[in-house]
Structures are given as C-alpha cells and as structure tokens.
Amino acid sequence: MSGRRRANDRISTGPAIPGALLRACLPAAAILAALLVPVLGWQLAAVGMAVLGMLFPQTFAGWLSIACLAIGLLLAEPGIWQTMVAVLLVHVIHVLSSLMAVLPWRGAVVISALRPTLLRLLAVQAVAQPATLAVMLVQASGAAVVSGAALAGAAAFAVFAIVILLRVDERSNGA
C-alpha cells in the first residue's frame, strides 16, 4: 500500500470520553444520590445495583438503583433541597443507564455526540425542578391545600392525556 493511500485511511473526530470513564460515572452518581438517603440498607442497595448495572447493563440494575433511592427517600421524608437534588441525580442515573446498553468498555464517545443527550437532560430538568419545588411547597403548606392540588393535578393530567390522544388520532386518520 502506498504512503499516500495509508494517510487517507484515518478518521478525524473531536475529543472523546473513554467508555470506561462514562461507565464509572453511573456508580459515582449513585453514591452521590445515596448520600441523600439516611437508611444504610437502601444506600448499599442503590450503590450495589448501580455497580451491577455498570458491569452488566443487560440486567437493567441501573434502573433498580433508582427504585432503591426512591424507596429510601420516601422512608426519610426528605426536605425540599434533598428532593430537588434527588430528582437531578435520578435523572442522571437514568441517562447513564441508558447509555450503558450501547457503550462498549473499550470504546469512546465523541463529546459532540453526547450534546443532544445533555440538552435533553437540561430540558427535562428545566421542567422537573420547578415542578418539584412547587409540589414540595404545596406539600409543606398543609393537608387541605394538598388535596386541592392533587385534584387540580389530576384534572390537568386528564386534559393533557385527552389532547395527546386526539392528536395521535388525527395523525393516524390523516396518514
């Protein structure tokens, strides 16, 4: 093979993150989230499931770590800031668990390829954090307000579901 031909056999990409480093982020996020849970058993279960999800993503153990964190937080009645941090970390664990299924250990991910995932994470958090704050403030205000807020939320969800179903029906009939 000529020297000129060999020079054309390269692909130039931008900076990349090693797959092993991205995989290590899953238990790291679970450890941070477990610090919010005051129940030792649920802390250990959450971190253990995250490690299992890192090693064997086909087991879906990363998502089980989210369940362990949720149960541990429900047992502890967390404060507003703890809940908001937990919502962020649970979402990060969910995103990382989703990446584990397609990310080889020895592979690398070009940083620009992660941009859409990061933008989705930020968009979801832009909605989830104010909603979490509102729910926690309503919950802290008392039981009478909570029942009214629950009815309003249920009605809003029903309207949302109806609108979505009508749009899906329009698209399926128009196609």
What would the pLDDT profile of 38-89 be if each residue is shown by its tens digit? 889 999 999 999 999 999 999 999 999 999 999 998 888 888 999 999 999 9
Are residues 93 and 166 both part of a single domain? no
Residue 4 lies in a domain: no
Are residues 34 and 90 both part of a single domain? yes
Are residues 102 and 40 both part of a single domain? yes
d(CA 102, CA 23): 11
Q: Encoding tokens for residue 50?
A: 């995250």
Centre a 10 Å sphere on the Cβ of residue 37 and count the other Cβ atoms it contains: 25
Whether pTM > 0.85 for this model: the answer is: no
Instruction: Tell me the CA distances in angstroms from 108 to 18, 20, 102, 128, 135, one per residue in order.
Output: 4, 8, 11, 30, 39
Q: Encoding tokens for residue 49?
A: 């499931």
Residue 53 lies in a domain: yes
Are residues 75 and 152 both part of a single domain? no
Predicted local distance difference test score (pLDDT) of residue 8 = 67
Are residues 111 and 151 both part of a single domain? no
Residue 133 lies in a domain: no
Are residues 117 and 155 both part of a single domain? no
Predicted local distance difference test score (pLDDT) of residue 90 = 95
d(CA 49, CA 144): 38
Are residues 40 and 90 both part of a single domain? yes
Give per-residue burial for 134-144: e unless 16+ CB within 10 Å, then b: eebebeeeeee
Residue 135 lies in a domain: no
16-18 and 108-110 beta bridge pairing: antiparallel
Are residues 79 and 165 both part of a single domain? no
Are residues 84 and 150 both part of a single domain? no
Range of the domain at 146: 142-175
Are residues 84 and 155 both part of a single domain? no
Centre a 10 Å sphere on the Cβ of residue 2 and count the other Cβ atoms it contains: 7
Report how many domains make up the chain.
2
Residue 84 lies in a domain: yes
How long is the chain?
175
Residue 157, burial from CB neighbour count under 10 angstroms (0-12, 13-18, 19+) = exposed
Predicted local distance difference test score (pLDDT) of residue 174 = 67
Residues of the chain with pLDDT under 50: none
Are residues 67 and 21 both part of a single domain? yes
Are residues 86 and 162 both part of a single domain? no
